[in-house]
Structure 1
Amino acid sequence: MAEVTFKGTPMTLVGKEVKIGDTAPDFTVLDNSLQQVKLNDFKGKVKIISIVPSVDTGVCSEQTKRFSEEAEKLPDVKVFTISMDLPFAQKRWKSENGIDQIDIFSDHRDANFGTNYGVLMQELRLLARSVFIIDEEGTVRYTEYVSEGTNHPNYEKAIEAVQKITS
């Protein structure tokens, strides 16, 4: 299992770690209109799934903005962020930050994504910072469980993984 800390404190991750080559587990999250969204809704598309504890914090905000910028350069790739924030807060954040290239989905209701991808931090009931790249067939092609929750993911490696799939 991935080892993750948050502000230096070790966290217990709930669920099974997802590995490269695995079939991506399905999940159910909520969009900003409280409608259910599933991974299968994006079947046939390459997906970048960016996971943050809360979009209302510095690193999470920067991560979401960075992947939004990358989405502009990757028109055939579905890019979205998942956090435990309430859908209303996500919608407000998107509006305040002019984000329209990506969706932000909420796992607050039942932590389905968090447990299916092994990123639910039991002690905080927040999602551990991570990135998953899933190809059109639903195979996991890249994973990063960021070892310290206050650090940025490796954006360049994630984008390289997408480019290998799409080129």
Structure 2
Amino acid sequence: MIQDQTQGRDRTDFISPPARGMAAQGILLHPDGVRLLMLDMAHRPCPWLPGGSSKGQESPHDTMTRLAKTQLGLDLGFADLGFAFVDHTIPKAGTNFKERFNHGFALQLTEQQASSARPLLDAGPDLQGFDWLTPDEIGERCEAHHVNRVVVGLRWLANPGYTVIMRNGVVVR
């Protein structure tokens, strides 16, 4: 029998939970307060929020900082921001995606930051460019869970201080 050293419980039949992915996404609001920066990704059917998967033990804050720099050439400060949302995404049956936690940040850019944003080759061949879209335009082109993340992020910008918990893009609390 294998013993847990701290609790004395039998751990013989313990099964490790499946690997879970961690990711960070940024709702980056234009200085006009109306449009959002959305990426044009070759393998995605609709515009995509900046961000992506965390590497190793990287925190969501560090992930978003790294990817804003890699994808857009922007050195943005996410270290002091709270999460606008955390979306627990459970994969659909029959897919090989793994369960993941998407941590969302919301930030209104300055004029200088907005005009400095550039899609970078370092981000890889999937990044085709970006566009500034209104929430209505995003709603016309994206799946509901993406739109819900944008709406939650915009509400957080108007009233920061609380994190919305979501599951597959639907607000839980």
The question of a shared fold, defined as TM-score above 0.5 by the shorter chain, is answered with: no
Range class of TM-score, shorter chain:
under 0.3
Higher relative contact order (Cα pairs below 8 Å, separated by 6+ residues): 1
**Bigger Cα Rg:** 2
TM-score (norm 2): 0.24
TM-score (norm 1): 0.25
